[in-house]
Structure 1
């Protein structure tokens, strides 16, 4: 597993009712305060993204990308139900080589953008939060 480090501007993650597929397809979904944009600046393709309330870290929900992948330089808008009141989430990304990185206890009610980076020299993945 690649080690996830927090170069924190702020915390991030997604949620139980994240509906990335609906947002991408243009289906109307009421936005939640946890909505954020995930940006891939790793140099690699991200195959899967999981978000779970922080208290359920070992119980990952469905891949919020669905059938899609997040290529290097691409971004995905992660949308939550407006009825969801949970703010603290854990995030896991899975690269196309099946390596995984996790971040915990991210307050998505305060974050709008999470950018994931990979440092070739250290071999570590980090995230910045805006």
Structure 2
């Protein structure tokens, strides 16, 4: 499983981001994929394993928002997001999202016909 470091209060220094980013905040993930998401994982880019599903027993419908207590106090700005769609179990990833350049909001998009994924930060 990928180490995701999503719990508030993680220890460590922020080598690549400003020190102010080490504080706890809420990360809002908006589902704009057109599909219901049954699982969502977030982990630092470059790790090999995903860890716990952030949705638990819930799902994230299209156009819904998941608010996550998040601390960017890990030693990276770059994160990966992986989702699993409810309808067919397809896994889709958004790699290398720079959380240090965003204001706590990211919208996930997926074009089912081309397979292209995009993430837009707000």
Q: TM-score, normalised by structure 2?
A: 0.69
Who is 2:83 aligned against? 93
Who is 1:8 aligned against? none
Q: In 2, are the aligned partners of 1:36 and 1:108 still within 8 Å (CA)?
A: no
Q: Which blocks of at least 5 consecutive residues in structure 2 are unaligned?
A: 9-22
Over the residues paired in the alignment, what is the CA RMSD in angstroms? Answer: 2.4
Q: In 2, are the aligned partners of 1:18 and 1:64 still within 8 Å (CA)?
A: no
Q: Which blocks of at least 5 consecutive residues in structure 1 are unaligned?
A: 1-14, 20-30
Report the number of matched residues: 103
Who is 1:49 aligned against? 40
Q: In 1, are the aligned partners of 2:6 and 2:42 still within 8 Å (CA)?
A: no
* 1:1-130 alignment runs, 5 A limit: 15-18=4-7, 32=24, 35-56=26-47, 58-81=48-71, 84=74, 86-96=76-86, 97-111=88-102, 112-119=104-111, 121-130=113-122
Distance 1:117-1:79 versus aligned 2 partners, 3 A rule: same
User: Which structure is richer in relative contact order (CA contacts within 8 A, separation 6 or more)?
Assistant: 1
1:38 Cα deviation (Å)? 0.7
